[in-house]
Amino acid sequence: MRRITLSIITVLVIVGLVIISCSPKPASETSGPVTLPAQISMGTFPPGSASYVPATAIAAAVSRHTPMHMTVEPAVGGIPQAKLLAEKKIEFAMIVAYGIRAGFEGAYSFASMGPQPFRLVATGWTMPFGFAARGDSGIKTPADFKGKRVHVQMAGEDSSIVYTHAVLAAYGLTVKDLKAATTYARSADSDRDLIENRVDVIVGSLGGAKQVELEKAVNAFAVPISHEATIKQKILSAMPGLVPITLKAGTPTAQVDTPTYAQIQSLYTVTGVSDEIVYQVTKAMYDNYDTELAPVHPTAAEWTLERALYDPVVPYHNGAIRYYKEKGVWSSSMEKKQKELLALVK
């Protein structure tokens, strides 16, 4: 009888040990390497755009310094890229801040889709943005847009129309005050319309190589947009993700130092992309900045670790935060900002 009892006890002990060994462990106790995908992708603007160069530089760094191969998927417009990100067709996107903020809020082009779980990996370079006018337009400030023909939006781009509304409102105008408020399909179309005198003013990026032709053809110039406190506050509150900048004299379309604004070009992802993937991408970018980004192009060189934590419009991804904490650059003020942005999640 005693032998049977001991046998039963022994069996129960063995069964208990098996159950314990098969029970799932807490995340902090799991062992073994995390499996990374063989390939990931990043959306950005097409070849020839200012975004394409830093995007390819980052993709090269990721491909060389992680087990993952990152491809660059060009798309015309930031909103199409953001939608690809929301639909999980790409893992990352390099676009301007406001397109992502609109998706985060479920506004404008995302009204039918609702709020999206976009997350920031790093802020990068600033893209000068504003209005270019014909030299014979008689325009000196946006207040002079009244009664003029203005391209107010690139088709499918929320940032251009929001910016136009914000600037007009800051100067006491609306689109109803314009002689014509039109939309253009591509930057090349907008430039041609200005040269061929179909419009007086166009909205878009400034200071780039394409403005050289506009300057030569019609003496085009960047319209100064004041940094005076009241005007600046109205513009920045209407469009998160802008920064005041000055185009230096000699920059294409800037015959003199010209105040305007810039959109922050940043790298985004979604919550569904794992912490480890985002951590590895962030680490590859900044651990190899001196060899992979800085020498490539001035726009790629702007992707410094110091700029990575500048003025976020959506929360940072946890994988990126892990890297920033390791580097000692995640401050208490950034933690406070992160909590404020997370509180906006719908």
Are 141 and 244 within one domain?
A: yes
Name residue 55's amino acid.
A
**What is the pLDDT, as a whole number, of residue 45?**
84
Under a CB-based contact definition with an 8 Å cutoff, are residues 131 and 142 in contact? yes
Question: pLDDT tens across 182-206, in order?
Answer: 888 778 889 999 999 999 999 988 8
Phi, psi of 11, deg, nearest 5: -60, -45
- 245's enclosing H/E stretch is strand 242-247
Query: Which structure tokens are listed for 148?
Result: 């003029």
Number of domains in the chain: 2
Rounded Cα–Cα distance for residues 188 and 155 (Å): 13
Mean pLDDT of the chain: 88
Query: Which structure tokens are listed for 40?
Result: 């990931």
Of residues 17 and 247, more confidence is placed in: 247
- pLDDT of residue 30 exceeding 80, the answer is no
Mark which of 244, 263, 282 sits at the end of a domain. Answer: 263
In a domain, 61, yes or no: yes
User: Bridge partners of 42?
Assistant: 72, 92
Are 277 and 157 within one domain?
A: no
Long-range contacts of 331-340 (CB under 8 A, 24+ apart): 334/309, 337/312, 338/312
**What is the pLDDT, as a whole number, of residue 282?**
98
Which CATH number do you get for residue 241?
Answer: 3.40.190.10
Are 257 and 292 within one domain?
A: no
pLDDT band at 264 (very low <50, low <70, confident <90, very high): confident
- pLDDT of residue 159 exceeding 90, the answer is no
**What is the pLDDT, as a whole number, of residue 2?**
41
For 307-327, b where at least 16 C-beta lie within 10 A, e where not — what string?
bbbeebbbbbbebbbbbbeee
Question: Degrees (nearest 5) of the Cα angle 15, 21, 25?
Answer: 145
- pLDDT of residue 3 exceeding 90, the answer is no
Are 243 and 172 within one domain?
A: yes
Question: pLDDT tens across 305-326, in order?
Answer: 999 998 899 999 999 999 999 9
Domain encompassing residue 116: 39-125+265-342
Question: pLDDT tens across 89-122, in order?
Answer: 999 999 888 889 989 999 888 999 999 999 999 9
Distance linking the first and last C-alpha atoms of the chain: 65
**What is the pLDDT, as a whole number, of residue 314?**
96
Question: Rounded to 5, what percent of the chain is helix, strand, coil?
Answer: 45, 20, 35
**What is the pLDDT, as a whole number, of residue 33?**
60
Question: What average pLDDT does range 293-305 have in this prediction?
Answer: 93
Question: pLDDT tens across 62-89, in order?
Answer: 999 999 999 999 987 788 899 999 999 9
Mark which of 206, 237, 263 sits at the end of a domain. Answer: 263
Are 169 and 192 within one domain?
A: yes
**What is the pLDDT, as a whole number, of residue 11?**
39
